[in-house]
Structure 1
Amino acid sequence: MARLIRKLLPRRWRPDFVEIPVVRLHGAIMSGGGQFRQNLSLASAASVLEKAFGDKDSPAVAISVNSPGGSPVQSRLIYRRIRDLAAEKNKKVYVFVEDVAASGGYMIAVAGDEIIADPSSIVGSIGVVSASFGFTELIKKIGVERRVYTAGKNKATLDPFKPENKADIEHLKALQLEIHDTFINLVKDRRGDKLSASTDLFTGQFWTGTRGVELGLVDGLGDMRSYLQSQYGPKTKLKLISQPRGLFGRRIPSASVQIAGLGSGLANGLMDAAEERALWSRFGL
Structure 2
Amino acid sequence: MFSFLKRLLPSSMRSDVVTIPVIRLQGTIMAGGGQFRPSLSLASTAGLIEKAFAYKNAPAVAISINSPGGSPVQSRLIYKRIRDLAEEKNKRVLVFVEDVAASGGYMIAVAGDEIIADPSSIVGSIGVVSASFGFPELLKKIGVERRVHTAGRNKAVLDPFREERPEDVQKLKELQLEVHETFIDLVKDRRGVKLADDPDLFTGLFWSGKRGLVLGLVDALGDMRGFLRERYGAKVRLKLISPQRGLFGRRIGLLGGSLSGRGTQDIAASAAHGIADAASERALWARFGL
TM-score range relative to shorter protein: over 0.9
**Any idea what the Cα deviations from partners look like across 1:37-61, whole Å, max 9, x if unmatched?**
2211000100000000000010000
Specify the alignment match of 1:6 in structure 2.
9
Q: Counterparts in 2 of 1:235-254, with a 5 A limit?
A: 235-253=235-253
Aligned 8 A contact 1:199 1:215 in 2: no
Specify the alignment match of 1:128 in structure 2.
128
Of 244, 258, 277, the residue aligned with 2:282 is: 277
What RMSD in Å do the two structures reach over aligned CA positions? 1.6
TM-score with structure 1 length normalisation? 0.95
Offset, 1:3: 6.6
Specify the alignment match of 1:178 in structure 2.
178
Of 233, 257, 268, the residue aligned with 1:263 is: 268
Offset, 1:257: 6.4
TM-score with structure 2 length normalisation? 0.94
Once residues 34 and 253 of structure 1 are traced to their aligned partners in structure 2, the CA distance between those partners, rounded to angstroms, is 11
Secondary structure of the 1:238 match is strand
Secondary structure of the 2:10 match is helix
Instruction: Say whether 1:59 aligns with 2:59.
Output: yes
Specify the alignment match of 1:193 in structure 2.
193
Count of residues in correspondence between the two structures = 282
Aligned 8 A contact 2:35 2:257 in 1: no
Q: Counterparts in 2 of 1:1-285, with a 5 A limit?
A: 2=5, 5-7=8-10, 11=13, 14-253=14-253, 259=262, 261-285=266-290
Once residues 129 and 34 of structure 1 are traced to their aligned partners in structure 2, the CA distance between those partners, rounded to angstroms, is 22
Secondary structure of the 2:9 match is helix
Q: Runs of 5+ in structure 1 lacking a partner?
A: none
Aligned 8 A contact 1:243 1:252 in 2: yes
Aligned 8 A contact 2:37 2:278 in 1: no
Aligned 8 A contact 2:47 2:253 in 1: no
Of stretches 18-27 and 35-44 in structure 1, the one that deviates more from structure 2 is 35-44
Once residues 141 and 276 of structure 1 are traced to their aligned partners in structure 2, the CA distance between those partners, rounded to angstroms, is 30
Once residues 282 and 55 of structure 2 are traced to their aligned partners in structure 1, the CA distance between those partners, rounded to angstroms, is 35
Once residues 205 and 198 of structure 1 are traced to their aligned partners in structure 2, the CA distance between those partners, rounded to angstroms, is 11
Residues 4 and 143 from structure 1, CA distance in 2 versus in 1: closer, same or farther, beyond 3 angstroms?
A: farther
**Any idea what the Cα deviations from partners look like across 1:132-165, whole Å, max 9, x if unmatched?**
0000001111111000010000100000001001
Q: Runs of 5+ in structure 2 lacking a partner?
A: none
The alignment-based identity, stated in percent, is 68
Residues 229 and 111 from structure 1, CA distance in 2 versus in 1: closer, same or farther, beyond 3 angstroms?
A: same
